[in-house]
Chains A and B, each alone.
Chain A
Amino acid sequence: MNEAEKLYEMLKKVQEPKGYFFNKDKERVFDLIDALLINKNRYGYMCCPCRLASGDKEKDRDIICPCVYRVADVEEFGSCYCNLYVSSDWNEGKIPERYIPERRPADKYL
């Protein structure tokens, strides 16, 4: 198993029992897992690939994957901001796929 596959298996084991499933689109999932590993290498922590990291771990704490906004996004839209983690209903097509608006307050980027 390569690093991405190991991370996938580890996260799956931890997150699925909590009700957070990887998107059924495995290509997209591995693209995002590769991006998490790029960010880990770049910043020293696995910052959300779909948000701009500041490089300061304390400032980015809310967007270290899984981000703090995942709970509310999966509850409201069936998917996290990146479409990495989704609910079982989302994977089964019971919830329409839509653009997930950014829940993180803008002032966090300043």
Chain B
Amino acid sequence: MSVLNLLDKIIMIRKRGDKIMTNKTIKIYTLSTCSHCKAAKKFLNDLSVQYDCVDVDLLDAEDKATALDEVRKYNPKLTFPTILCGDKVIIGFQDREIKEALGL
């Protein structure tokens, strides 16, 4: 499929108000206060893709420790946002990398 056809398809899906279908599982670890995390969430919302989000700073101590163990596996520097997009790990809000990982 050409890029233009793909864009047409995305626009068509958006006009119908549906979520963009992606076979990638997206999970994003964020801090509720972080500007880059907010920008990343807005970017995903604007793309209308579905994702799971964990605001790590709002978790209680036990859940926070579990979440940090998960983040550490993908990003030993424990920075936010840490974005899991299929088998890709994107550290920080990097819009081009997110789009590439989604095949957009």
Q: Is the CB of B92 within 8 A of A49?
A: no
List B residues 53-94 near A (Cβ within 8 Å).
Answer: 56-57, 68, 76-80, 92-94
Whether A35 lies near B35 (C-beta < 8 A) is yes
B35–A52 touching, CB < 8 Å: no
Judging by beta carbons under 8 Å apart, are B92 and A52 in contact? no
Q: Are A53 and B57 in touch, CB under 8 angstroms?
A: yes
Q: Within the assembled complex, what's the spacing in Å between the Cα atoms of A63 and B93?
A: 20
A32 within 8 A of B: yes
Interface of A is mostly: loop
Question: Which residue of chain A lies nearest to B95 when distances are taken between CB atoms in the complex?
Answer: A99
Given the interface contacts A31-B38, A52-B56, does A102 sit within 8 Å of B31 by beta carbon?
no
Is A106 in the interface zone, CB < 8 Å from B? yes
Chain B residues near A53 (CB, 8 Å)?
57
Q: Which 4 A-B pairs have the closest CB atoms?
A: A35-B33, A49-B33, A50-B34, A109-B78
